[in-house]
Amino acid sequence: MSERKDGKPFSDEMLVAYMDGELSDAERDAVEALIGSDSEAAVRFEHLSRSALPFREAFAPLLAAAPAARLDAMLAAVPAVSAPKAAAGIGRRGLLAAAAACLVAGIALDRTVLGVARRLSGPDESAEWRAVVAEYLALYTADTLSAPAGDHAAQAAQLALVGEKLGMTLTPEAVALPGTDFRRAQVLQYDGMPLAQIVYLHPETGPMALCMILSNAGAAAPEAERRRGMNVVYWSSATHAFMLIGRAPVDELQALADHVRGVLPA
Amino acid sequence: MSVARLTFPVYTREKSEAPAVPALEGPSAGTEGVIASEEDIRQGLSRELARLWRYAVVLSRQRDVADDLVQATCVRALERAGQYEAGTRLDRWLFSILHSIWLNEVRSRRVREGQGFVDADRSLVFDGARQAETHLLAAQVLQQVQALPEAQRSAVFLAYVEGLSYREVAVVLDVPIGTVMSRLAAARAKLADGAGASGSARRTNGGQT
């Protein structure tokens, strides 16, 4: 327990280590005596105690959010490293096998570090981006979208920019949803990839969004689901995944999705 | 409230008892032992994938980088299965491997390429939003910790979320124990300052400074 340079007989390190139960018995006694006798130390201790936050609870959801299926598949794909058992001396075949295994492992690592094998597209991946979009949109209210949408030229410019990121041609006409007001288009990011979000205001049910990401998971017909109290209709083309989400009835969303599929270039 | 009457809400860190990895009962023979432990490491990895991924998210603040980091950790751990000391905590060993890959390979590479880092705000739109509705305080804590500089963030996460001792944190981060202490103290001071804003509304300030 050395004194600090500024002459105070205590330091934050000491007080925090005390809170964390990391001090020896003698050190602990010393800190307790100090807190009891030195009001400055007591005030500092009390202040630092406010940082005793529920850390474990705060990070529990992140554990639950781990993409378990994808990680399992990834681990299973890592090849065994050991050379086959070489009981009596290592023969030429054993060496070759070991070399091959190292090569494979090396490639796996390169792919990892280079990020070439971006991700294993498991069945949960397509659901994951929809979950994220739903969480995001759940925060929207009609007030969020109160800003004017801009004139046709402004909308066209905005959509062109968004479309460029997604490799599609987007125009105000193509993305117009009958019975709703276009509000804005923007590019968000999902896992390092551009995510296009086109937001509409539905006169009765509030915010609605058409979202797109690049996806090579293959074409799929529309399906419906519910997320965060909203209806979702999602489908994909050979190059993109789409979702339409809002509080409108599912029938209406289905009809709008069919409309979008008819006008948007795949 | 006068200082003399202060009770000390001592935050005793719950010593986590994450399931201990059973000691490897590898045969004493060298080659056989290495081969046996690689399979054990693989099994251990499969149990710890979610925790490794979470630590990777804490470090990188990005899910896709976290995926890659966990994968690289698996590859490296299996390659080095022979270096794992039977009887020690496998999760700690895996944390150190992940941390060193992050520090020496992924992170430095991202800096070199000018990809920079994701700031806490944006990553939390994705990683924190899910829980925002369930527990507002928890979401705020997550946000505050994730906003800390990386060195403090990793120390706080390992010590207070994963329940590692100072000594274990020092091993994982590969720094002296004094460095762990100062990082934690700095982080706690910052978190306390943040909590003070809301805390002072609740507390009656005794006029002490």
- Residues B89-102: tens digit of each pLDDT: 999 999 999 999 99
Q: Could you tell me which residue, B153 or A135, shows the higher pLDDT?
A: B153
- Tell the burial category of A163 from Cβ atoms under 10 Å away from its Cβ (0-12, 13-18, 19+): buried
* Pair (A253, A157) in one structural domain: yes
pLDDT level of residue B110 (50, 70, 90 thresholds): low
Domain boundary, last residue among A67, A88, A114: A114
pLDDT level of residue B162 (50, 70, 90 thresholds): very high
C-alpha separations of B120 from B57, B60, B128, B142 in Å: 11, 10, 10, 10
The predicted pLDDT at position B37 comes to 77
Task: Work out the percent of chain A whose per-residue pLDDT is above 90.
Answer: 34
Interatomic CA distance for residues A142 and A119, integer angstroms: 36
Which tokens is B19 given?
């399931």
Domain membership flag for residue B1? no
Question: Which residues does chain A have within 8 Å of residue B187's beta carbon, measured at their own beta carbons?
Answer: 51
* Pair (A128, A254) in one structural domain: yes
The predicted pLDDT at position B135 comes to 62
Read off the amino acid at residue A2. Answer: S
The answer, for A81 touching chain B at a CB cutoff of 8 Å, is yes
Question: Which residues does chain A have within 8 Å of residue B70's beta carbon, measured at their own beta carbons?
Answer: 71, 74
Question: Which residues does chain A have within 8 Å of residue B30's beta carbon, measured at their own beta carbons?
Answer: none
Residues with Cβ < 8 Å from B119, sequence gap 6 or more? B61
Domain membership flag for residue B79? yes
Domain membership flag for residue B45? yes
The answer, for B108 touching chain A at a CB cutoff of 8 Å, is no
* Pair (A97, A178) in one structural domain: no
Winning range, highest mean pLDDT, from A84-88, A109-113, A153-157, B180-184: B180-184
* Pair (A80, A97) in one structural domain: yes
CATH number for A240: 3.30.200.100
* Selection from B96, B107, B81 nearest residue B174 by Cα: B96
The answer, for B115 touching chain A at a CB cutoff of 8 Å, is no
The answer, for B195 touching chain A at a CB cutoff of 8 Å, is yes
Residues 140-169 of A with CB under 8 A from B: none
Domain boundary, last residue among A91, A114, A137: A114
Phi-psi region of B116 (alpha: psi -120 to 50; beta: other; left: phi over 0): left
Domain membership flag for residue B7? no
Interatomic CA distance for residues A234 and A211, integer angstroms: 9
Residue of A nearest to B135 (CA): A58
Verify whether the Cβ–Cβ distance B208 to A113 is below 8 Å.
no
Verify whether the Cβ–Cβ distance A16 to B74 is below 8 Å.
no
What is the distance in angstroms between the Cα of A129 and the nearest Cα belonging to chain B?
10
The answer, for B159 touching chain A at a CB cutoff of 8 Å, is yes
Which residue segment(s) compose the domain that A70 sits in? 57-114
- Residue B145: which of A50, A58, A189 has the nearest Cβ? A58
Total number of domains in chain A = 3
Winning range, highest mean pLDDT, from A80-89, A180-189, B190-199: A180-189
* Pair (A161, A252) in one structural domain: yes
Total number of domains in chain B = 1
What is the distance in angstroms between the Cα of B169 and the nearest Cα belonging to chain A?
12
pLDDT at B19 over 50: no
* Pair (A173, A222) in one structural domain: yes
Interatomic CA distance for residues B80 and B53, integer angstroms: 20
* Pair (A202, A224) in one structural domain: yes
SS3 B8: coil
* Pair (A226, A110) in one structural domain: no
In this structure, is the dihedral angle defined by the CA atoms of residues A262, A193, A112 and B43, taken in order, positive or negative? negative
Interatomic CA distance for residues A23 and B2, integer angstroms: 27
Verify whether the Cβ–Cβ distance B12 to A55 is below 8 Å.
no
What is the distance in angstroms between the Cα of A11 and the nearest Cα belonging to chain B?
9
Q: Please, what's the largest Cα pairwise distance for chain A?
A: 81
Give chain A's radius of gyration (CA, Å).
29
The answer, for B18 touching chain A at a CB cutoff of 8 Å, is no
Domain membership flag for residue B167? no
Phi-psi region of B58 (alpha: psi -120 to 50; beta: other; left: phi over 0): alpha
Angle between helices B30-60 and B63-79 (to 10 degrees): 160
The answer, for A255 touching chain B at a CB cutoff of 8 Å, is no
- Residues A60-109: tens digit of each pLDDT: 888 988 999 999 999 998 888 664 443 334 444 444 555 555 444 444 44
Domain membership flag for residue A178? yes
Domain membership flag for residue B97? yes
Verify whether the Cβ–Cβ distance A50 to B196 is below 8 Å.
yes
* Pair (A171, A257) in one structural domain: yes
* Pair (A228, A128) in one structural domain: yes
Which residue segment(s) compose the domain that B44 sits in? 30-118
CATH number for B40: 1.10.1740.10
* Selection from B61, B65, B66 nearest residue B122 by Cα: B61
* Pair (A240, A165) in one structural domain: yes
Average pLDDT over residues A158-179: 88
Query: Among A108-122, B69-83, B122-136, B151-165, which is the least confidently predicted range?
Result: A108-122
* Pair (A36, A61) in one structural domain: no
Domain membership flag for residue B4? no
